Every structure is written in structure tokens, then in C-alpha cells.
Amino acid sequence: MINVKDFIKKLNLEVLSPTTRKEWEINTAELNRPGLQFVGFYEHFAYERPQVVGLTEMAYLESLTDEVRRERLEAYFSRPIPCVILCRGMMPTQDMLELATAHDVALLRTQLVTTRFFGNAMNYLNRCLAPRATLHGVLVDVYGVGVLITGESGVGKSEAALELVKRGHQLVADDVVDVCRVTDSRLTGESPETVRHFMEIRGIGIIDIKAMYGVGAVLMSKSIDLVIHLEAWKEKKAYDRLGLSEDFTTIMDVRVPQLVLPVRPGRNLAIIIEVAARNFSLKHMGYSAAKELDRRLNEMMMGMSKQED
């Protein structure tokens, strides 16, 4: 379901004829251009989508006689369409206004050209219709990398995030992260509106990051590129010391790289998370320090072997 007021506000649309409906039952991010419908062809008509009228469709309607145009529009508006958007700031015909009002169809207008509006509207609908979930963790932007910090309650997630904010990075969400799967391989996270920009620090209470550190210390949303899981140090557990292998975790059927960081007194988690974010960026650019060291060692061993021969 798509909220009517939010759709109009986010896409900066002008209301020419309002609707009494508060929500539209739209289940796809696609839009429809009704050129064939204005001609009279209704087979495979995607009436459940927002209808976008561009310059070509409007020019065709204006070329018709008043009687024929009203007949075509009557047939068109009789279908259960959610809304009609006129692009390029075009004026609707009088019969279009009358029929939209009579059939309770929202008639809207944008100043954008048709292709530009298509892109904006599809992006908006994709975000609204994308699968969502709520996770326990902290989401921060570190050097442009969206880092989701997870771990048991009290392990130090918020404290690490606070130190990162002090070092110039940005907080997206603390404790509760609303996750949205915008594509089959991309996740974004944001904070619920009621707790946005707030952080809980044990012993102090609730603090407002935006008020304390400025608007540059917070972000509304961020992609989730890397998961860092904090856990209490286990003496007998073998932690990765080379980084040759990559671990992943699955969130909403999307595989995300994951690091497990052991926590014990004296470790500066903020600096370690910064290094993890920079190392993640380097790997995306094709450079791995662990693989480079492995290559050098192999070359050295091969050189020593040849000398012995």
C-alpha cells in the first residue's frame, strides 16, 4: 500500500483534482503510459499502476474532437486506476478534470519531463515496496562504508559508535535499525523516526547526537556494506589473524561481509572499526594486504628453494 499524501509530497506533485482515498493498493514499482488506452486498446492494461501522461499522449488527446476525447477518457477513468500524473507542467483538458473528479481518481502534475519523473517515481516506489525488517544493532557511516555493529547487549556497540562520531564519522541508527532490501543485493538501514539521532549510553542515559555534535554527525539512511559483530573475548577461540578468508552473514537473503571482533579491556574498538572500513574499501578496489603478504612469502620461499637446488 502507498500513502497518497507521502507520494505527493516526496515526488513534489501538484494536486489538480484530489481523491478521498488515503492509500493506493500499488504492489509494483512500475508505471504505465496510457497511449494505447487512449486509442481504445485495453487488453493487458496495467490499471493498478500510477498512470503517467507525457507530451505524446497529451498531444494525441488534444488532436481528438471533444466528443471522441470524452468518450475515450470516460472508458479510461472507469477503470480502477490509482492516479494520473501529467508531466512537463501540462494543463489537463476540462473533460479530464471532470472525469477524474467523478471517478475519485487523483489528477496530479509535475514540472519534470516524463523520463526524469519515471526514474524518480520508480526509485520512490522501490523504497516503499521493498521488504523490511528490524535489527538490533548500531549503524554508522565510516569513511563512506556503512558499518552495522552487532553484538550482545552491553558489549559496547553504542560506546564504539560514540567514539566514531567524535572522530568525525556519522551515526545513522542506535540500538534499533530498520533495514530495507532495495535490490536483490543491496540493503539500506535507517533509524525509526521516534528515536532518530538519539543514543543510549549506560551510566549517562539518552543523549542527542545531532544536538551535541551538529547536523554533520548524523545521516538519515545508509547502505549496509559491512557487519562487525562484537563479542566478549574467548580465550580458547581461534580468531582470524590473517584475513585470507572472508566470512559472510545473511540479512533478508542478502549476503553481507562480516567480521567478528573480540572485545576486552584496553582495545580501542573505534580505531579497529576505522581500519576495518578502510580495509574493506581497499579490497573492493582489488587490493588485499593478506594476499599481498601471502604472495611475498611464497616468492621468498620459492627463491630460497631455488638457491638450495
Q: Give tens-digit pLDDT for 101-125.
A: 999 999 999 999 999 999 999 989 9
Residue ranges of alpha helices (H) inside 104-248 are 114-129, 157-166, 209-213
Residue 223 has pLDDT above 90, yes or no: yes
Residue 244 has pLDDT above 70, yes or no: no
Residue 219 has pLDDT above 90, yes or no: yes
Catalytic residue check, 255: no
Catalytic residue check, 284: no
- For 195-208, what is the mean pLDDT? 88
Q: What is the pLDDT of residue 202?
A: 82
- Percentage of the chain beyond pLDDT 90 is 57
> Given 157, 181, 197, 222, which residue is catalytic?
157
Give Cα separations from 75 to 42, 63, 291 (angstroms): 9, 18, 66
DSSP state letters, 227-262: EEEEEE--TTS---SS--S-EEEEETTEEEEEEEEE
Residue 297 has pLDDT above 70, yes or no: yes
> Given 175, 181, 197, 225, which residue is catalytic?
175
Catalytic residue check, 306: no
Residue 292 has pLDDT above 80, yes or no: no
Q: What is the pLDDT of residue 156?
A: 85
Task: Name which of 212-226, 228-242, 247-261 the model is least confident about.
Answer: 228-242
> Given 44, 237, 241, 306, which residue is catalytic?
241
> Given 21, 136, 278, 284, which residue is catalytic?
136
- For 290-302, what is the mean pLDDT? 74
Q: What is the pLDDT of residue 146?
A: 94
Mean pLDDT of the chain: 88
Give the gyration radius of the chain's Cα atoms: 27
Q: What is the pLDDT of residue 306?
A: 66
Catalytic residue check, 136: yes
Residue 179 has pLDDT above 90, yes or no: yes
